[in-house]
Amino acid sequence: MPISSDSTPTDATTRAALMRAARRLFAHQGYDATSVRQITREAGANLGAVTYHFGSKQALYHAVLEDALAPFASGILAAACSARPPLERAADVVGVYFELLARMPDLPFLLIQEMMARREAPTPITNALRQVSGALGDLVREGQEDGTIRGGDPLLFALSIIAQPVHLSIAAKVLAQVAGVDTHDPETRERLRAHTAAFVQAGLSRRAE
C-alpha cells in the first residue's frame, strides 16, 4: 500500500528536524540573524526543505512559535483558572512555568528575542501573551474581590508574577558564573521554585492578614 507523498516517514522526520533546528537558532540568535541555509544545514536537510515544508522562513518561524507557545499558554491558563484560592493559583502558575522551562529551555529565549527586536511582535506571541496576562489579571481581580490580594492594577500584578520565573530562567548562565547556582540541578530548581512562589504570594497578598 503506497504512503501519501505528504506524510512519508522521511517527510515527517525532516519537518521535525527543521522545527528543532529553527527553534534553537531563532532562540539563540534571533529571527533576523538566522538564515534558511543555517537552519537546513543544522537539520541535515537540503536548501529547498524550508520552502517545501513551510513555504517560507517566516512561516517556519510562526510554526516554531505556535509549537512552543501552545503548551506554555495552556499550562499557565489551566493553573490560573483552577478552582483553588487565587493566591495558591499564583504559586501554581510559577510552578507550571518552572516545569515548562525544564522541558523547553529555549522558550524564554524565543520570547526575549522578540522583546528585543525593533519591530512589532508576531501574532503567535501577542496572542499567547494576551491570553496569559488576561488569565493572570482575572486571577488577581478575583483575589482582590475576596480580599486575599491587595489593591492595585491587575495587569501590573500579572507582569510581576511572570517576571520572577522569566528572569530566573534567562539569568541561569550568569547565576552559575557569579553565584555558583546551577539551575539545571533538580534540587536547586525546586528551591528556586519554592522561593519564587513564596515571593510572588507575599507580593500579592493583602498585608493586614
Q: 28 vs 46, which CB is nearer to a copy of itself?
A: 28
Cell numbers found for residue 101:
522551562
Least Å distance, CB 73 to a copy of itself, is: 13
Q: Which DSSP category does 183 fall into?
A: T
Least Å distance, CB 24 to a copy of itself, is: 10
Q: Which positions touch a copy of itself (CB under 8 A)?
A: 28-30, 33, 109, 112-118, 120-121, 125-126, 129-130, 133, 150, 152-153, 155-157, 159-160, 162-164, 166-168, 170-175, 177-179, 181, 191-192, 195-196, 198-200, 202-205, 207, 209
Q: Give the end-to-end CA distance of the chain in Å, rounded to a whole number.
A: 69
Least Å distance, CB 3 to a copy of itself, is: 39
Task: List Cα–Cα distances, 198 to 9, 61, 95, 163, 202, in angstroms.
Answer: 47, 36, 11, 14, 6
Pairs from 49-58 (Cβ < 8 Å, separation ≥ 24):
49/14, 49/18, 50/18, 53/11, 53/14, 53/15, 53/18, 54/18
The Cα 95–Cα 63 span in angstroms is 26
Q: 75 vs 165, which CB is nearer to a copy of itself?
A: 165
3-state DSSP call for residue 177? helix
Rg value, the chain, Cα: 20
Least Å distance, CB 198 to a copy of itself, is: 7
Q: 45 vs 192, which CB is nearer to a copy of itself?
A: 192
Least Å distance, CB 108 to a copy of itself, is: 9
The Cα 123–Cα 78 span in angstroms is 22
Least Å distance, CB 60 to a copy of itself, is: 20
Q: 145 vs 153, which CB is nearer to a copy of itself?
A: 153
